[in-house]
Structure 1
Amino acid sequence: MIHLIFAKEFHMHELASTAPHVAKVKTEQNHRQRIKHSLDKAEKYSSRKLHKHAAEMALISRAVDHLSPLPRTWLDAPCGVGRATILLAHRGLDVTGVDLGEGALHVAQQAVERQDLNARIEKADLLDLPYSDHQFDGLLCFRLIHHLPTPQHRREIIDELCRVTKDTVLISYLSPWSPTSVKRALRCRLTGRKSVQNITPLSELKKHFSANGFTLINDLAQLPLVHSLHLAVFKRHSP
């Protein structure tokens, strides 16, 4: 039985009440434009091209296959329509998927129930997760960071993800050194348009995770030297 739990939400008016938080509010609004609240958008995303879905799930599987010992409890944050939550649950892992999009949560919950998997779908904000410190052995953050336009916002999200994780964090990012990223940067420069796909140097991620006690142990590309999508694996330092 899967329960849809509505956890505490992050209140934007509280951030806007003081001047030092102005920049933070702006970056959050940018990120929140990508949340799939409508059922229509969520269903369209869940039926995206099969080869793209398969390639992304294969990337996650490769990263998980390298983990030893394999974390047993996982947080998929954000879970979107539940693609990775389902992947991890099929491996016999205890998974919780969280998101803020009502439509995405509905689609994810239906998929998990339909397959009778050991997973929970919960509503929660990545900037204020309703979980205790180190509650999950492992955490997956897939296809989120490239929607965050500033190092400050990326750091805020990463800090909270690390807080609830005991051992291992898998996080995807778009490398600035791939041909795809270079072409995207040139196109933006020529047209003057801003891209919603923000690149992130691995060095920046390493800095943010190091501040939270994590070390990079692996960095996998969907297609080395060609594709911009990478999945970095961080492990908490031994005490």
Structure 2
Amino acid sequence: MIKWRRKAKIKTKKEMNKKMEYFLLGFLIILSVIFILAGFFLLGSAKPAENISWGVNFSQIQSQALGLDWKENYLALLEEMNVKNFKLSAYWGLIEPEKDNYNFDDLDWQLEQAKKNNAKVILVVGMKAPRWPECHLPQWAKGLSKKEQQESILSMLKEVVSRYRNSNTITVWQVENEPLFPFGECPWIDKGFLKKEIDLVKEIDYTEKPVMITDSGEGSFWFAAAQLGNIVGTTMYRKVWFDEFERYFA
């Protein structure tokens, strides 16, 4: 009897937690709808964009993960599809495989090919960059303290920005990728440190390229990102996964 009561209590508690999750999710959805409708009626609809430039986010590590020749893929985008706008990433784990030992061969090649084909590049710099696991720490940095990791990131940023600041191919620095959104295998989130990264990039780059900060298009209101960068970038997924319902919503 005691065991049965204990199981019943545990089950009841789980059911209550589940109901609370549904209630909170429903409340947030209703609040979001009200917020959107209020914005529409008070501010009006957004004007259609007059000039849209489409581009491609190319990831060397994703191409390799699929078992493909990443250089062949990249050249196909440039030469066969004639893509003129790219987002490329200075993956920390690739450019600094050993502490203070940098290898820019692959990134140099990507930028050289973009220049040959008159393409422009947004370059992502920092610990967090597109594609899983999101935070691309080199193996030697994973066991460091937060303070040591941040010092190493600033050193890496200094090397990258100093190397490419005079490149006319690079038009925008993207500092980190969705740095304030809790997603991926990342050791920490630190808005104060993000500000230090941005300040360092602007200090080193005397050509004054704009800095872009990205945020989740579905899981954020973008205010924090807008306070930090010259440009705000967001995602737009046609389907979003909700753990509470164990399904995708369009």
TM-score, normalization: structure 1?
0.34
- Higher relative contact order (Cα pairs below 8 Å, separated by 6+ residues): 1
Q: Which structure shows the higher helix fraction?
A: 2
TM-score, normalization: structure 2?
0.33
